[in-house]
Structure 1
């Protein structure tokens, strides 16, 4: 994890509110950008938004909500979630184990990556991790061997379910085939203190029904295995509202899941979910400065090798706003732009099209909103371009100088 560089304003401004943990805290995005005077993009964190979203999961989902750390492992994000009541964390690597265990000693960690190195399994167990996922007999044997055939293991069989309606389909890499799953469950039942199944319907799932279909498939596997299941993990995939992508309300997902669990024999089983994007996306944004304009091509100080990978590679349609360099009002007319990142690689581009005012100019800051997930964490250091500047923005954010951009883009094609 990158070390955060703390840059305090040389002279206090009316927007500066002090510290939020290790972050400088401001009352406005413009005030933050001007005070930080960063040559790099600026990561914006809205802790109040994150607290509200955590409360929505903790009160709406009837089981335990464990945060998928991969979405955003920043220390202040993790601490904010813990303060809000999140106590369970889905970790995928030994570095994530060490990060969360060192920062939040009271958290419970679930090593839910289905394939782990022997060293990672052994180290995690020594650090107190007892919950491990697997999707193959060889992986189960690795867990048993590297934990010394421990009798206090919580084992989760990751199922390769089939569900439609996700923007990112995740069944191609992980998940036990359903015809093999009963045998794997039976073997795990012999050695597990607590036995569970897990699945993932895909990221940004737009259909609540995908969860009920997956639960039905899990019930069939458990029935064929003829064993008692202690816990079911319904995974992540809860969606966020992006331009052109208006999902049902989060509560409808919870109701669908709860009904399916009761209908298919899991009413008494412990229940988990793994929100990542849905928890943190709306609590973050990235401000990228326009370094040069060539017609409808904008050259930014961030790109696909940085926080804007999702804007370029899968061409994710983030909400946009604009902060002008000089505080000027922009023209009402909107144009469509293509954006380029700062590296020398010609692949560092974002086709968009991105709707912005026709008079956007060098020095203006484009705000990519809802980028609290997979923004800060996706940064590389290629060509020396990256940003360690993150600031907190208080709930009392004043945005009269932030120009909202109308939604004029369509959603990406969903994978069936």
Structure 2
């Protein structure tokens, strides 16, 4: 893709040859805050959210942000202030959303491996509901709830066996997936849940995968879900809400995902046609709200020509941007200041001592040591998956709001990393 046409919308753009996030020069941010540096656009996040809100206008529907995509406190605070609930998958995420100002009633707890301690804490707080992912989990949650003298609100996550046509690692709705209760077992599991004294059935849930760019898997999953709702309610178990999960993809390179409002026009039309248009709807988007709101700014350290490959070595690495190493994922990489001159085809790699530490392969770049590059579409599954591999400190993060810049995470120091470790006596 021509770097003049960036995938991130007007919030991240070139003015002449200079890259901006909203009204701020990216080079100025790097100069002040160092690199690697994650930069997010407030306007881009709220614009992505507004597409869902437009799609749901006039409906009983609510967005629960899936914070595994990016769990930085200020971003959670932004979505809480915009009226979102939150989809969590751990006790740590529970405490994060509370610290960001969310109310317990705004929280859905998903995940295949909830512990008794996590269940107890969530029940004591009074969260909105649990998305239960197995029949044994129903029994454990019932035991914890009865021990507290409460009834746990539950929605069962059903695995509809629908291919989301995405990467195998982020396909979650197929028969071989660890997630959810098999479609063929769902009615039995609902009867089990309804019979347990510590549980209160409130809904049904599915989530078929992530980075989905085709409408068809959503339509197929909806049909299978609505068939189940009909069967479950025929068995005398009312379903108050239907949760269709998240997974809508973004543009990294040349993908063409539907806009959120266009997707939901199609899905709501099917709901109406099947007589479920008045139901309470929940969705759990993550990547589609934050992915194209963020970039990672990095400095070129060395250019290293080779016999078979040329390398552009940068100061960001797989610990900062894990997606390429994990999924062979593609991120556009563009100059912060475009320069004239011949481009060199090279692999863009980090300093970590792993052959898998690459950010982009076979990229044509006109760059020199000391230049700044921007790794695009870095708002999702980058900082939230970052690590301290090679004892590298995690990057700083800033949020841009027009011409204002807010530091939302300080750069991690070696003192921060060593603080909780002790030497032997």
Please state which band the TM-score falls in when normalised by the shorter chain.
0.7 to 0.9
- In the alignment, the residues of structure 2 paired with residue 258 and residue 367 of structure 1 have an alpha-carbon distance, to the nearest angstrom, of 38
Contact persistence 2:74–2:100 (CA under 8 A): no
* Structure 1 residue 48: Cα displacement: 1.7
Match of 2:130 in 1: 132
- Displacement after TM superposition at 1:233 (Å): 0.5
Aligned counterparts of 1:366 and 1:161: Cα–Cα separation in 2: 42
Q: Which residue of 2 aligns with 1:170?
A: 172
CA apart distance, 1:396: 5.0
Look up the SS of the partner of 1:266 in the other structure. coil
| Counterpart residue number, 1:294 | 304
Which of the residues 206, 214, 217 maps onto 2:224?
Answer: 217
Structure 2 counterpart of 1:161? 160
1:210-359 counterparts in 2 under 5 A?
210-225=217-232, 226=234, 227-295=237-305, 296-306=310-320, 308-324=321-337, 330-331=339-340, 333-350=342-359, 352-357=361-366
Q: Is there any run of 5+ residues in structure 1 with no aligned partner, and where?
A: 1-24, 398-416
Aligned residues: 364
| Cα offsets for 1:199-220 (capped at 9, x unmatched) | 1121111111211211111122
CA separation of 1:102/1:321 partners in 2, compared to 1, >3 Å: closer, same or farther?
same
User: Is 1:95 matched with 2:95?
Assistant: no
For 1:147 and 1:130, how far apart are their aligned partners in 2? 14
> For structure 2, which runs of at least 5 residues remain unmatched after alignment?
1-21, 405-425
* Residues 244, 317 of structure 1: 8 Å contact kept: no
Q: 1:159 & 1:182 partners in 2: Cα distance?
A: 10
Secondary structure of the 2:142 match is: helix
Q: Give the C-alpha shift of residue 134 in structure 1.
A: 1.4
Question: Are the structure 2 counterparts of residues 236 and 27 from structure 1 closer, same or farther at C-alpha, using a change threshold of 3 Å?
Answer: same
User: Which contiguous aligned blocks of 4+ residues in structure 1 show a shift greater than 6 angstroms?
Assistant: none
1:35-81 C-alpha deviation (Å, 9 max, x unpaired)? 22x2x401101112112222222232341010001111101111111
Is the counterpart of residue 33 in structure 1 residue 33 in structure 2? no
Report SS of the residue matched to 1:391: strand
Superposed displacement of residue 331, structure 1: 2.4
Question: Can you list the C-alpha shifts for 1:92-149, whole angstroms capped at 9, x where unaligned?
Answer: 0001101111221436111011331111111221222241111222100111111226
1:305 Cα offset (Å) = 2.0
The aligned residue for residue 203 of structure 1 is 210
Partners of 1:219 and 1:161 lie apart in 2 by: 11
Q: Is contact 2:23-2:403 (8 Å) kept?
A: no
| Range with greater deviation from structure 2 (89-98 or 246-255) | 246-255
Normalising by structure 1, report the TM-score: 0.81
- 8 Å CA contact 1:151–1:193 kept in 2: the answer is no
TM-score by length of 2: 0.80
Within 2, Cα distance between the matches of 1:363 and 1:220?
59
Instruction: Give how far 1:304 is off.
Output: 1.5
Corresponding residue of 1:45: 40
Deviation of 1:153 (Å): 2.8
Report the CA distance between 1:152 and its aligned residue: 4.4
Q: How does 1:69-108 map to 2 (within 5 A)?
A: 69-86=67-84, 88-106=85-103, 108=106
Provide the aligned C-alpha RMSD in A: 2.3
Cα distance change on mapping 1:152 and 1:269 into 2, 3 Å: farther
